[in-house]
Amino acid sequence: MKTKKLKLSNRISLGLIALVIVLTGTSGLFNTIKTSATSREDNFCTTQRCKDALTAEREASEKANSASTTADTLDGEINRLNQEIAMYETRIIANRAKSEDLAGQITENERKLEIQKEALADMIINMYLNSGNNDELLILANSSSLSDYAEKQTRLTSARDQISSSTEMVESLKNDLETQKKEVERIIADQEIQQKAIAETKRREEALVTEYKANAVAFAAESAAARKVKEAEIAEAIRKNNSTGLIGSGINSYPKRGVCPRDNLGYNFYGGYVCQCVSYTGWKVYERYNIRIAGWGNANTWHINARNSGYRVDHTPEAGSVAVTTGGPYGHVMWIERV
């Protein structure tokens, strides 16, 4: 949105206070150049070569902007892919640590199983050695009673049961740990596949970013080349027509200058009757800023209507602004070329 300023300055001409209407916005230079360029193109880009160059400039500029926007979008997608790759890397590292921990638990359980087997084997050997025999009939014969034999057999059976139970428990735990380890390794393999797929997508998109950025540079160069041709054509048209819209040129670019001076031609042209000061000044405002002044009345009311419209009105003249005097029945407005 264009912001308009108000300024008043001390300037006395023929005993009258001159007010200055400043029409540039706070973003000033950019907006001024833009509207001025548009006006120059409308008025002076008349040859087919100039029009072709103008079309080529705009098309190349649009393509450059589109390529640049696409490259920016892909850059954002690449950043997202980098985050996904990092996420999978974190998960893979965690699962590898889990797999190593499970492998350690399996090894530890195997060690415990061997220790337990050895301990139980020693227990049985000691029982046989203590009985002096390893044959059940001899154990029975050497037993002091049937109850003694039964007790010895119970201890042997209990030892065997402990061995069997412990072996089954440890084997079951070992199998469970190995199953978990295999599942973790499967997950790691899947995650590595997904990580590689994302990395490949990232590689392709990085190649596209490089391509689109190169296209943006190339299209910008095309636009600049076409602009150079266009500006040369406009400069030639200005030279031939002895007319310019540039501030400070001192050249009359008023489209109706060929019919002036003449009073009250009966129709309005850019803010007032043709050949009157309000019409000429209104044309210069349009030529410079692409602003059409309408309904501001006689010259001596322009500063009031300008202020009401949000423009800066003061006493400090600037090139490219409007001077207003309020003396006489109608007042007078002037376009300021130089200060």
Q: Please give the residue range of the domain that contains residue 318.
A: 12-23+254-335
* Residue 282 domain-assigned (yes or no): yes
Query: Based on the domain organization, do 170 and 203 belong to the same domain?
Result: yes
Query: Based on the domain organization, do 123 and 164 belong to the same domain?
Result: yes
Query: Based on the domain organization, do 151 and 70 belong to the same domain?
Result: yes
Instruction: Assign 21 to helix, strand or coil.
Output: strand
Distance (Å, rounded) from C-alpha 120 to C-alpha 166?
10
Which pLDDT score, from 0 to 100, does residue 171 have?
76
CA distances 183 to 91, 102, 174, 179, 308, Å, are 14, 11, 14, 6, 78
* Residue 220 domain-assigned (yes or no): yes
Query: Based on the domain organization, do 179 and 262 belong to the same domain?
Result: no
Which pLDDT score, from 0 to 100, does residue 124 have?
64
* Residue 59 domain-assigned (yes or no): no
Query: Based on the domain organization, do 226 and 266 belong to the same domain?
Result: no
We report the CATH number of the domain holding residue 276 as: 3.90.1720
Instruction: Report which of 238, 290, 216 is spatially closest to residue 50, judged by C-alpha positions.
Output: 238
* Residue 44 domain-assigned (yes or no): no
pTM over 0.85: no
Structure letter (DSSP) for residue 16: E
**Cβ-count burial 159-190 (b if 16+ within 10 Å, e if not):** beeebeebeeebeebbeebeebbeebbeebee
Structure letter (DSSP) for residue 301: G
Quick count: other Cβ atoms within 10 Å of Cβ 62?
12
Around 115, how many Cα atoms within 13 Å sit in the side-chain half-sphere? Answer: 6
User: Which range among 31-40, 136-145, 246-255 shows the weakest confidence by mean pLDDT?
Assistant: 31-40
Q: State which of 40-44, 82-86, 162-166, 237-241 shows the largest mean pLDDT.
A: 82-86
Structure letter (DSSP) for residue 319: T
Residue whose entry in the numeric block shows the structure tokens 């008025």: 43
pLDDT in tens, 210-249: 999 999 999 999 999 998 998 888 777 766 654 444 545 5
Between residues 282 and 34, which one has the greater pLDDT? 282
Report CA Rg, the chain: 48
Residue 64 confidence class, pLDDT cut points 50, 70, 90: very high
Q: What is the residue type of 222?
A: E
User: Which range among 102-106, 183-187, 216-220, 257-261 shows the weakest confidence by mean pLDDT?
Assistant: 257-261
Between residues 247 and 14, which one has the greater pLDDT? 247
Average pLDDT of the chain?
75
Structural domain tally of the chain?
2
Query: Based on the domain organization, do 95 and 225 belong to the same domain?
Result: yes
We report the CATH number of the domain holding residue 156 as: 1.10.287
